[in-house]
Amino acid sequence: MASGWTPQGLDEFQIADGEAYHRALYLDGDISRPAGWHRDSVNHLLDLAIPHINEGSLVVDYGAGTGGSAIELLKVLDEKGISIELVLIDPLESWFGKAREILHERNDVHFELSITQDKSGRTVFRELDEMLAGRKADVIISSSTLHLVPISALEDLAHQISGSLKTGGIFVWDSGDVESALRPKDVSCLHDPYRSVREYLRDDDARQSLLSKMAAEDAERSEKRIDRIFPVPFSIEILMRAISSAGLLSRISDHVVEFANEDAERFILVPRLAEIAAPLMQGEERNSAIRHAIKEVLAEMRKAGTASDSAYRSYWVYGFHIKP
């Protein structure tokens, strides 16, 4: 049995949310059938990390979500007959609960929920060192997560990661949603289509009518929250500066990953992400507005040259860092 955090009292929305994100990564939720974009994006990260993982290694997946990166990592290690200790870390109970459900039978997996409440009841992130009980990792991976960390928290996180690696330990991450001057003109950021869906629906009549019925400050708060679901990407330099400040040596590579139209629709209909169309009612009202918007957005991307008939192209950056 896996150890550590277990979900408690998840409501219907949270369970559906975890299930939907899992199905956005795996066709029909079948872990032997990863969606093309998930397989292609995470494979390169694994190519960088696996050569540094040995029998008995302590490996951390920072931002494990529903387990997408961990599942792919374990597939490769199982195939090679390498046993490790894998610590999964994430703040989002709905998605992390799904990871626990999928991986609960494995003795080699440990779960740490990365948020807690401080003395005044505020939700705060836990320190990596505390979550690892002071142990040092051989390898830390972080897939599709760092672009969600606020810029103001990046430097501290990089120091925590460096502090939780053994000497010679490795930190490998990927992100499809950081700005880079190296991104080709016919390739977009991973979340560009979803930011465009948000813009497409911003002035939608039904949405505006619902917002106008809310108290002004509630409507404003709701709009701000929605804008944070797909934050404007920061530049790769900001991330690299934060990581270098923690004394890690760096190598960067990149990859273009095709994201199929049907996968894009499945992705943006994940309940927590579909909140970009709130306050349209959860369910059919919200989903049909999003389905229409994503079709229009993908058509625009085809005209702009960042998508083909079947997929849009997303630009992924990979960081490989050694603790000297």
Ligand X SMILES: C[S@@+](CC[C@H](N)C(=O)[O-])C[C@H]1O[C@@H](n2cnc3c(N)ncnc32)[C@H](O)[C@@H]1O
Q: Please give the residue ranges that form the binding site for ligand X (CB under 6 A).
A: 25, 42, 63-65, 68-69, 90-92, 95, 143-145, 148-149
Based on CB atoms, which residue is closest to ligand X, 66 or 207? 66
Residue 209: C-alpha distances to residues 85, 226, 277, 279, 289 (Å): 52, 17, 13, 10, 14
Give the 3-state DSSP-derived string for 250-277, with helices as H, strands as E and coil as C. Answer: EEEEEEEEEEEHHHHHHHHCCHHHHHHH
CB of 253 to ligand X, least distance (A): 17
Based on CB atoms, which residue is closest to ligand X, 13 or 283? 13
Cβ-contact 56, 85 below 8 angstroms = yes
CB of 96 to ligand X, least distance (A): 7
Based on CB atoms, which residue is closest to ligand X, 39 or 295? 39
Based on CB atoms, which residue is closest to ligand X, 114 or 287? 114
CA dihedral over 38, 243, 133, 59, signed as positive or negative = positive
Based on CB atoms, which residue is closest to ligand X, 8 or 123? 123
CB of 180 to ligand X, least distance (A): 18
Based on CB atoms, which residue is closest to ligand X, 156 or 300? 156
CB of 35 to ligand X, least distance (A): 11
In angstroms and rounded to an integer, the radius of gyration of the C-alpha atoms of the chain is 20
Please give the order of strands across the beta sheet that includes 3-4: 3-4, 109-113, 85-90, 58-62, 137-143, 165-175, 311-322, 249-260
Terminal Cα distance for the chain, rounded: 35
**Which of 178, 197, 184 minimizes the C-alpha distance to 264?**
197
DSSP 11: -
Based on CB atoms, which residue is closest to ligand X, 25 or 242? 25
CB of 264 to ligand X, least distance (A): 14
Largest CA distance in the chain: 60
Pull the structure tokens for residue 106. Answer: 């494995």
> What angle in degrees, to the nearest 10, is found between the helix axes of 68-80 and 36-49?
60
